[in-house]
């Protein structure tokens, strides 16, 4: 089912961003891609998303330039991985803001603990921003990891953008 309204040519940057990021599943796909997920079957398994919906969302994210599609060989068959582009990587503050808002203003009996940002250079928790809350050094994507109970691996580095 597609939306009746598109905001891609709207003068408001919030409306244009909502046009790209506002479809169901899109932010969760970006979250998992940022956590290093690249393969269709892994997105499907982690998210519990239907194949047709995942196919549509991945294609839209590739079309909009947030993910890139790269071939790989799986036995005798060519398949594709989906990697973050710089535009997809730049959505990180949006993910952090939504995670913080969701932790503060929503609840459920099954809630995971908050998504935490760790500055690997000093090993301490920090908040998104330009500088680490603890050591004061500049926060660089390569020096950040995510920690949270929704991550099966505990603490993981953020995926690097392609290109």
What pLDDT does residue 153 have? 60
Which residues are within 8 A (CB) of 7 and not within 5 positions of it... i.e. 6 or more apart?
15, 16, 18, 19
Q: What is the CATH number of the domain that holds 128?
A: 1.10.10.10
- Structural domains counted in the chain: 1
Identify whether 5 is part of a domain.
Answer: no
pTM for this model (two decimals): 0.85
**Mean pLDDT, range 131-137, rounded to an integer:** 95
Residue 132 structural domain: 13-157
- Mean pLDDT score of the chain, rounded to an integer? 89
Cα–Cα distance for residue pair 69/18, rounded to 1 Å: 23
Whether the CB-CB separation of 143 and 121 falls below 8 Å is answered with yes
Cα–Cα distance for residue pair 16/31, rounded to 1 Å: 20
Identify whether 46 is part of a domain.
Answer: yes
What would the pLDDT profile of 18-71 be if each residue is shown by its tens digit? 989 998 899 999 999 999 999 999 999 999 999 999 999 999 999 999 999 999
Identify whether 7 is part of a domain.
Answer: no
* Sheet (strand 124-126) strand order: 124-126, 116-119, 144-147, 155-157
């Amino acid at each position: 089912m597609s939306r009746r309204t598109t905001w891609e040519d709207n003068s408001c940057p919030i409306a244009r961003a909502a046009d790209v990021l506002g479809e169901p599943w899109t932010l969760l796909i970006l979250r998992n891609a940022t956590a290093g997920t690249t393969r269709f079957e892994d997105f499907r398994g982690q998210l519990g998303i239907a194949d047709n919906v995942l196919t549509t969302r991945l294609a839209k994210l590739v079309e909009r330039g947030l993910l890139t599609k790269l071939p790989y060989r799986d036995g005798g068959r060519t398949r594709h991985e989906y990697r973050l582009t710089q535009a997809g990587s730049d959505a990180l503050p949006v993910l952090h803001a939504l995670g913080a808002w969701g932790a503060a203003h929503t609840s459920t009996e099954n809630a995971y603990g908050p998504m935490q940002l760790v500055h690997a250079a000093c090993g301490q928790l920090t908040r998104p921003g330009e500088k680490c809350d603890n050591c004061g050094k500049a926060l660089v994507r390569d020096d950040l990891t995510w920690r949270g109970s929704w991550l099966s691996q505990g603490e993981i580095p953020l995926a690097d953008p392609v290109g």
